[in-house]
Amino acid sequence: MRAVGGRELRVATWRLDMPSEHLPVLFFNGIGANIEAVAPLAEALDDRGFIMFDMPGVGGSPEPVVPYNTFTMAWTTAQLLDQLNLEQVDVMGVSWGGAMAQHFALQHGGRVRRLILCATSMGMLMVPGSPAALSKMADPRRYVDAAFMEKHFATLYGDALGETAGKSSHIGRLTPPTRRGYLYQLIAMLGWTSAPALPFLKKPTLIMMGDEDAIVPLINGRFIHSLIPNSELEIFEGGGHLFLLSHREQSVSCIRAFLDREDQAQERRRAA
């Protein structure tokens, strides 16, 4: 637990005390999702540091007293990086966290080297997913009621994780958010869109999307790709909203290749 910007947040870090040639990854999670949900990814990227925290009212972070928005949470995140003595990081986000990652890169561009956006959109201008999936996603019972999650798992996330170990393992890592925490996380994005600012985002950006995502359809990734000048789009065939887990080896390989690639300026200097 850390006191950050006037809030108490449950923070997890991996390997920050170990020497590494790579910048740490700052990760923004999906709506209602706790640290443990993405811990397998943090463990797989074992050659670099990794930072993640539970949003207020999610996982182990106390319930928020007042609502927050993208601006205030980006500021709080910058305060956390200050506490960890990190000048710059690579930033990654999935779904709701992908929108948060976009906003952080726009608001605190000097602290971001590269950006990875997974299964996400531009906010209120997104092309919505299937009504069946969206109605289940908006219901916090998917975290509270194991039977509800089990029943509607395929509608939400597709069949890519299978019916056995993958699905059960993911469900077992989830901790229910509080109702207020879930509500505040939903309303934090009300009226928000990154669309007007994305053409000015000059960070090298990797957009990762599943072609069978029922919550955030692939077309949203194509729109983001068309707006960010220095971006590339990676499409995961058969990938649903949880392709980071169902296509774990492919995802990790893609992330490593992108983050380890030299910046164009460095490449030109080497060539010279």
Residues labelled as active-site residues: 95
The number of helices, as runs of H, and strands, as runs of E, in the chain is 12, 9
Taking Cα atoms as reference points, which of 187, 176, 214 lies closest to residue 32? Answer: 176
What's the chain's Rg over C-alpha atoms? 18
Distance CA 265, CA 196 (A): 27
Taking Cα atoms as reference points, which of 242, 194, 184 lies closest to residue 214? Answer: 242
Distance CA 186, CA 202 (A): 28
Looking only at the bridges linking them, the beta strands covering 7-9 and 11-14 are unpaired
- State the helix-helix crossing angle for 70-83 and 96-107, rounded to 10 degrees: 70
Distance CA 21, CA 161 (A): 33
